[in-house]
C-alpha cells in the first residue's frame, strides 16, 4: 500500500508539470536524481515513465533492464533487454545479463547460445565455465565431461585460461569468491561425481585437487568437511 502511494505521488508530479517542462523532461530529471540518491525504486518508476513517452530509446531500455535483473525480476528485465538486443545495440554486458537471466528462468538453451557468442567475441573463458555450469545443472553428462575436460586441457598451456577467475559461492563468509577457473572446474567435476554418480572416491580426489590449486577455496573446503561428516555418520 505504501509503495502504491509513493508511485501515485511521483506520477502526480509529472501531471502537474508547468508548460515550460514536459512530463518526459521531469521524468529524466527524476531519474538523474534517483541515481544520485542510489534509489532503485524511484529509478524504476522514472524509467518506466520515460519509456511511456520515448518508447524506442534503447539507452533507457537497457537501464531499466539492468534494474529489473538486479532485483530478480528476470521476466521484466528480459523484456527490455530483448528490445535492445533486437535493435542491434546490445553490449556484451547486456548479453551476459541476458544469458544469466535465461539460465535463472530455466531457458538454458538460450543462455548457452548467448554464452557461446560471448566466448567467441571476447575469448573470455569465464563464459566457457558458465557453459559447463549449465550442462551440470541440466544433467547432460556427456557435454559436462567434454567441456570440463576442455578447460583442464587448455589451462595446461594457455596462461589466459589459467589466470581466468570465476565466481563461486562462499558458504562460510557469504556471497561469492573469485576462484581460478581450473580449481573451480575440478570442484565441479568432484561435486558431479558425488551428487550424480555417488562416486565418493572420485569426488574427494577432484575436490582435494581443487584445494591444492587454490588453498583458500571456501566452497571446496566446505564440501570436503561435509563429505567427511557424512562418512563418519555412516560408520
Residue 195 domain flag: yes
**pLDDT higher than 60, residue 3:** no
d(CA 229, CA 232): 5
Which structural domain, as residue segments, surrounds residue 152?
125-235
Residue 21 domain flag: no
SS3 content of the chain, % helix, strand, coil (to 5): 75, 5, 20
Indicate yes or no: pTM above 0.85.
no
User: Higher pLDDT residue, 162 or 6?
Assistant: 162
d(CA 218, CA 212): 12
pLDDT at residue 103 in the model: 94
For residue 11, name the pLDDT band (cuts at 50, 70, 90): low
**pLDDT higher than 50, residue 105:** yes
Residue 165: strand pairing partners: 180
Q: What is the mean pLDDT of the chain?
A: 91
User: Higher pLDDT residue, 3 or 41?
Assistant: 41
Residue 133 domain flag: yes
Residue 191 domain flag: yes
- The stretch 140-152 carries a mean pLDDT of 96
Residue 150 domain flag: yes
- The stretch 5-12 carries a mean pLDDT of 50
Q: What percentage of the chain exceeds 90 in pLDDT?
A: 85
**pLDDT higher than 90, residue 173:** no
Residue 179: strand pairing partners: 166
For residue 8, name the pLDDT band (cuts at 50, 70, 90): very low
Q: What is the pLDDT of residues 72-99, one digit of tens each?
A: 999 999 999 999 999 999 999 999 999 9
Residue 157 domain flag: yes
**pLDDT higher than 70, residue 1:** no
- The stretch 100-126 carries a mean pLDDT of 95
CATH label of the domain that carries residue 164: 1.25.40.10
Grid cell listed for 22: 514536459
* Domain count across the chain: 1
**pLDDT higher than 50, residue 193:** yes
Residue 182 domain flag: yes
**pLDDT higher than 70, residue 122:** yes
Cβ-count burial 196-229 (b if 16+ within 10 Å, e if not): eeeeeeebbebbbbbbebbeebbbbbebbeebee
**pLDDT higher than 80, residue 108:** yes
Grid cell listed for 105: 528462468
d(CA 93, CA 218): 27
pLDDT at residue 164 in the model: 97
Residue 159 domain flag: yes
Q: What percentage of the chain exceeds 70 in pLDDT?
A: 91
Amino acid at each position: 500500500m505504501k509503495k502504491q502511494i509513493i508511485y501515485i505521488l511521483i506520477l502526480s508530479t509529472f501531471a502537474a508539470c508547468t508548460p515550460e517542462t514536459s512530463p518526459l523532461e521531469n521524468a529524466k530529471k527524476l531519474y538523474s536524481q534517483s541515481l544520485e540518491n542510489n534509489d532503485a525504486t524511484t529509478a524504476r518508476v522514472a524509467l518506466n515513465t520515460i519509456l511511456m513517452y520515448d518508447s524506442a530509446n534503447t539507452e533507457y531500455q537497457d537501464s531499466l533492464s539492468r534494474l529489473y535483473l538486479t532485483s530478480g525480476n528476470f521476466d521484466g528485465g528480459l523484456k527490455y533487454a530483448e528490445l535492445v538486443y533486437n535493435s542491434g545495440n546490445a553490449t556484451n554486458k547486456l548479453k551476459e545479463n541476458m544469458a544469466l537471466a535465461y539460465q535463472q528462468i530455466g531457458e538454458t538453451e538460450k543462455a548457452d547460445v548467448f554464452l557461446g557468442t560471448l566466448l567467441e567475441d571476447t575469448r573470455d573463458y569465464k563464459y566457457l565455465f558458465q557453459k559447463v555450469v549449465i550442462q551440470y545443472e541440466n544433467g547432460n553428462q556427456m557435454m559436462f565431461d567434454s567441456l570440463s575436460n576442455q578447460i583442464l586441457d587448455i589451462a595446461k598451456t594457455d596462461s589466459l585460461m589459467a589466470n581466468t577467475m570465476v565466481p563461486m559461492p562462499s558458504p562460510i563468509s557469504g556471497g561469492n569468491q573469485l576462484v581460478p577457473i581450473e580449481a573451480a572446474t575440478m570442484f565441479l567435476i568432484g561435486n558431479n561425481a558425488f551428487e550424480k554418480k555417488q562416486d565418493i572416491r572420485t569426488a574427494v580426489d577432484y575436490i582435494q585437487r581443487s584445494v591444492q590449486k587454490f588453498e583458500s577455496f571456501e566452497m571446496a573446503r566446505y564440501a570436503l568437511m561435509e563429505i567427511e561428516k557424512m562418512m563418519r555418520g555412516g560408520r
